[in-house]
Amino acid sequence: MLTILKQESFLLLALIAALVAYPLEHWLLHSGQVVALTAGLVLIAFIVAASMRVAHQAESLAEKVGDPYGTMILTLAAVLVEVVILAIMMSNEASPTLVRDTIYSAVMLDINGILGLAALMGGIKHGEQSYNDDSARSYSVMILTAMGVSMVVPEFIPEANWKIYSAFTIGAMVVLYALFLRMQVGPHSYFFSYSYPDKRRKKEPVEQEPKPVSLALSIGILVFGVVVIGALAEVMSKTLDLGLEGTGAPPVITAILVAAISAAPEILTALRAALANRMQSVVNIAMGASLSTVILTVPVMEAMALYTGQPFQMAMTPVQTVMIFITLIVSAINLNDGETNAIEGMTHFVLFATFIMLSLLGL
C-alpha cells in the first residue's frame, strides 16, 4: 500500500489541491484578477500532474494488452480527460466556440506538434523510421471525414435545423467509430501494428519483463484520477475565465490549454517511442488521438447541446479550415510510403508553429 501511495504521489497532491481549492473558491474569485489567474495556472499544473498518472495507468494497461488495443486505451484515456474538462467548462457558460477551438487545437497539437516533433527527433537520431502505412491512411481518411461532417458542413446548416443536424452528427460519429473500432481490433488489426526487422531488435538493449499489472487497481486509479481532474477543472475554469477577462488574450488560448492538458502524457510517450525507433507507436498515438478527439468529443458535446438546448459553434473559421486541410494533405503525402524522416517531421512542426502564431494573432 505504501508503495502504491508513493507511486501515486502526484495524484495525491492533485487530490489535496482539489480539497483546498473548493473551500477557497469564493475567496479566489473575489481577491482580484491576478490572484484568480495565478490560481488557475496552478490548478492547471495539478491537472497535468493528475493526467500524467491517468496516462501512466492507461500505459500500464496498454503494455498488458499490446497493440492495437494498447494505443486505443492510451488515446481513449486522453480523450476522457478532455471531455470531462470541456463538459465542466461549458457548464460554466464558457465561450460557445470552446469545443470547436479545443478539437481544432487538439488535432493541430497531435498531428503537427506530436507527430512532427517525434519524426524530427527520431529522424535526426535514426534516419528513416519505418511503420505500417496502412494505419496512417486509415486514420487520415477517418479524420478528414469526421471533421468534414462535424466541423465544416455545419457552416451551411440553417440555424433553425441545428438540432436535426446535431442528432445526425451524433449518429454518424457513433456509427463511424463503431465500425472503425471493429476493424481496428478485428479483421484489420494488422493495419495498426508493425513487425520490426530482427536487426533492429538486436541493436536494442534487452528490456526487462514488465511487472505484473493489476487490472482492477489500474482501472480504479485511472477512474479516480479522472474524478480528481474533474474536481480541479470545476474551480480552474472559473478562476481562469476571470483571470483572462479583459487581458486581450485570444479566446483560443483557453482551448489550447485544454488540448495541451489532455495531450501532455501523449507527448512524452510519443517522444520516447520515436527515440526508441518505434515509429508505429508514434503514428498510432498522434493520429489515433486526433481521430478519437474528433469522433468521440463531438457526439458527447453535441448531446450536451441538445440536452441544454444551447447550440455550440462547431463550424470552423476559414483560417482553421485551411490549416486543417493543409495539415491533412501534408500528412497524406508524408505518411504514404511507410517511412518518416527529419524533413517530414520539420514540415509538420512548421505547421504547428504557424498554428501557434495564428492563435496568438487571434485568427
Chain segment 38-54, per-residue pLDDT in tens = 888 898 888 888 877 87
Burial of 159 (0-12, 13-18, 19+ CB in 10 A): exposed
Confidence of residue 144 (pLDDT cuts 50, 70, 90): very high
The model's pTM is 0.83
Confidence of residue 154 (pLDDT cuts 50, 70, 90): very high
CA 21 – CA 15 distance, rounded (Å): 10
97's grid cell: 466556440
CA 172 – CA 358 distance, rounded (Å): 31
What are 214-249's pLDDT values in tens digits? 667 777 887 788 788 888 888 888 888 888 887 777
- Please provide the average confidence, as pLDDT, over all residues in the chain: 83
Closest to 135 (Cα-Cα) out of 300, 290, 264, 18: 290
For residue 135, the model assigns a pLDDT of 84
Confidence of residue 83 (pLDDT cuts 50, 70, 90): confident
CA 82 – CA 79 distance, rounded (Å): 5
Percent of the chain with pLDDT over 90: 26
Answer whether residue 85 shows pLDDT above 50. Answer: yes
Q: Which residue has the cell 444551447?
A: 310
Confidence of residue 28 (pLDDT cuts 50, 70, 90): confident
